[in-house]
Amino acid sequence: MPASHEVSSTMFHFTALPPLSLYVHFPWCVRKCPYCDFNSHALRPGTGQAARGEVPEAQYIEALLADLEADLPRVWGRPVRSIFLGGGTPSLFSPEAIEHLLAGVRARVPLVPEAEVTLEANPGTVESERFRGYRAAGVNRLSIGIQSFDPEQLQKLGRIHGRDEALTAAQAARTAGFDNFNLDLMFGLPQQTLDEALADVRTALALQPAHLSVYQLTLEPNTLFHAQPPELPDDDAIAVMQEALQTELTDAGFVQYEVSAYAHAGRRCRHNLNYWQFGDYLGIGAGAHAKITDAEGVTRLWKVKQPRAYLETAGTPAGLGGVQRPGRDDVAFEFMLNALRLTEGVPALLFSERTGLDPSCMQKPLTQATARGLLDPGHEHFRPTPLGRRFLNELVALFLPEPAR
C-alpha cells in the first residue's frame, strides 16, 4: 500500500486499508424453511413450486446497481477481491440477470482479475444449463445448499428438494465446468443418529466438492423451529457427531480451517476468509450489511430489510437502514470474535493492521485466555488451542468490552 494510503486518527492508526469484498443479497426463496432466520421471503408461501417468473428480476438488479453506485464514495478506487451472491436464493435469478449485474459491478468498481465470484444455489432451482449460464456471466464458484441427502430429513427441514435433486445439483455443477464448488450440510438434525449424519457427509464426499460447510443446526429466534422445537440430539450426541464428522472429513483430505468450513488445498473461500480476517466489505441488496474502514475507524452500515421497501428506496438516503461507528472496545472484540473462528487464528500484527489499535489493549484477556488453556501461549500469533476451539464461546467472551462481561 503506498504511503499516501497511510491513514490515522486520534483513536485509530491504520497503516493500510483492509482488502475489500462485495456481498450481494437476494432476499427471495420459493418457500421459507422453518429453521432459517436469514432475510429471505417466500415467493409463494405454502407451496413447493418453483416460481422464478415471480421475482422482480430486472427491477431488483437495477436497484442493486443504484445501491452500489451510492456506496462508491465510501470506497473510491479500492479494488474488489471477491463477490458473494448470497441469499435467500440467488439461483432464482436468470443467468442473464446475473450477467447484467456482474457487468454493472465491473463498470463501477475495479474488480481484480482473479476475483472469486461465488453464487449460492438451491437444489430444485437449477440444472446444468443454468449453471453454464452463470459461469459465462463470470461466476467461478458455486455454493449449493444441500443440508441433507436423507429424504425424511429434507421433508422435516421443509426443503423444496429431495435426495435426487440434491445429487443432481452437485453433478450439474461439475458438468457445467465448476470444479470449485461448495456443499452446505447441516448436522444435529431432528432425531438424527450418528450413522445418518455420517451417511450425509459420505454422500457429499462422493460428489467430490472442493469445499464443504458443515453447520450444526441451531434454533434461531423468530423461526418456526424456535416456536415449535423439533426433538434434536442432546449435547453429548452432538459432540460425538461433530468429532466423527471432523475425522471423516480430515481422513478424506479436507482441512478444517474454520469452525464449520473444510477445504481442499487452495480452495478456502476467499470471501469468507476476508470476513474472518476482519477485512472490509460492501453490502448491497435488501438488509445487506457492510463494514468499511477509513481514517476515522470502522463504519458498519446496512440497507433496508423489506424487499418491497428496498426496491423503492435503493440508492437514495432512505435506502440506508442504519449506520454505526463502533468504538475501540467493540472493534477489538469484533476482530477477536471473527479471528478466533479460524483454526490457525491470525498473526497479532493483523490485529493492529485491521483494527488500527495497539495489541497491548488486549493484554488482560489474552493472558486470561492463555492461563485457561484456551489460547496458544506466545502472543505474536492469536491461535485457539483444541480446548479453545471446543469452548469457543467461553474464549470469545473473555474479549467482550468490560461492562458487558
Report the residue number, 125 or 352, with the smaller CB distance to ligand SF4.
125
Question: Any contact of residue 29 with ligand SF4 (CB under 6 A)?
Answer: yes
Question: Any contact of residue 86 with ligand SAM (CB under 6 A)?
Answer: yes
| Binding residue for ligand SAM, selected from 21, 89, 192, 385, defined by CB under 6 A | 89
Burial of 355 (0-12, 13-18, 19+ CB in 10 A): buried
Question: Any contact of residue 220 with ligand SAM (CB under 6 A)?
Answer: yes
To 10 degrees, what angle do helices 235-251 and 194-206 make? 30
Report the residue number, 38 or 302, with the smaller CB distance to ligand SF4.
38
Cell numbers that stand for 330 in this block: 467493540
Question: Any contact of residue 302 with ligand SAM (CB under 6 A)?
Answer: no
In the complex, minimum distance from the CB of residue 98 to ligand SAM, in angstroms, rounded to a whole number? 15
N- to C-terminal Cα separation, the chain: 37
Cell numbers that stand for 302 in this block: 446496512
Residue 269 near residue 116, CB atoms below 8 Å: yes
Question: Any contact of residue 229 with ligand SAM (CB under 6 A)?
Answer: no
Which of the ranges 33-41, 206-214, 249-257, 390-398 carries the binding residues for ligand SF4, by CB under 6 A?
A: 33-41
From residue 300, alpha-carbon distances to 87, 148, 326, 369 in Å are: 20, 34, 8, 28
Which of the ranges 1-9, 100-108, 213-221, 296-304 carries the binding residues for ligand SAM, by CB under 6 A?
A: 213-221
In the complex, minimum distance from the CB of residue 144 to ligand SF4, in angstroms, rounded to a whole number? 11
Question: What track of x and - describes contact with ligand SAM for positions 171 through 210 (by CB under 6 A)?
Answer: -------------x-x------------------------
User: What is the distance between the alpha carbons of residues 125 and 148, in angstroms, rounded to a whole number?
Assistant: 16
The secondary structure element, H or E, covering residue 212 is: strand 211-216
Question: Any contact of residue 40 with ligand SF4 (CB under 6 A)?
Answer: yes
Site for ligand SF4 in 79-108 (CB under 6 A): 87-89
Q: Which of ligand SF4, ligand SAM, none does residue 313 bind (CB under 5 to 8 Å by kind)?
A: none
Task: Identify which of 173, 79, 184, 89 has the alpha carbon closest to the alpha carbon of residue 131.
Answer: 173
Task: Identify which of 146, 90, 93 has the alpha carbon closest to the alpha carbon of residue 120.
Answer: 90
| Binding residue for ligand SF4, selected from 7, 20, 24, 33, defined by CB under 6 A | 33
Question: Any contact of residue 217 with ligand SAM (CB under 6 A)?
Answer: yes
User: What is the distance between the alpha carbons of residues 268 and 258, in angstroms, rounded to a whole number?
Assistant: 10
Helix then strand then coil, in percent of the chain rounded to 5, is: 40, 20, 35
Question: What track of x and - describes contact with ligand SAM for positions 102 through 121 (by CB under 6 A)?
Answer: ------------------x-
In the complex, minimum distance from the CB of residue 239 to ligand SF4, in angstroms, rounded to a whole number? 25
User: What is the distance between the alpha carbons of residues 379 and 392, in angstroms, rounded to a whole number?
Assistant: 18
Helices (H), 348-400: 348-355, 363-371, 386-390, 392-397
| Residue 323: φ, ψ to 5° | -135, 140
In the complex, minimum distance from the CB of residue 285 to ligand SAM, in angstroms, rounded to a whole number? 12
Q: Which residue bears the cell 479494488?
A: 79
User: Strands 280-284 and 297-303: what pairing?
Assistant: unpaired
User: What is the distance between the alpha carbons of residues 29 and 402, in angstroms, rounded to a whole number?
Assistant: 41
Q: Which residues contact 246 (CB under 8 A, 6 or more apart)?
A: 256
In the complex, minimum distance from the CB of residue 395 to ligand SF4, in angstroms, rounded to a whole number? 28
| Binding residue for ligand SF4, selected from 21, 118, 122, 153, defined by CB under 6 A | 122
Question: What track of x and - describes contact with ligand SF4 for positions 136 through 175 (by CB under 6 A)?
Answer: ---------x------------------------------
In the complex, minimum distance from the CB of residue 215 to ligand SAM, in angstroms, rounded to a whole number? 4
Q: Which of ligand SAM, ligand SF4, none does residue 32 bind (CB under 5 to 8 Å by kind)?
A: ligand SF4
The residues binding ligand SF4 (CB under 6 A) are 29, 32-33, 36, 38, 40, 87-89, 122, 145
The residues binding ligand SAM (CB under 6 A) are 35-36, 38, 86-87, 89, 120, 122, 145, 147, 184, 186, 215, 217-218, 220
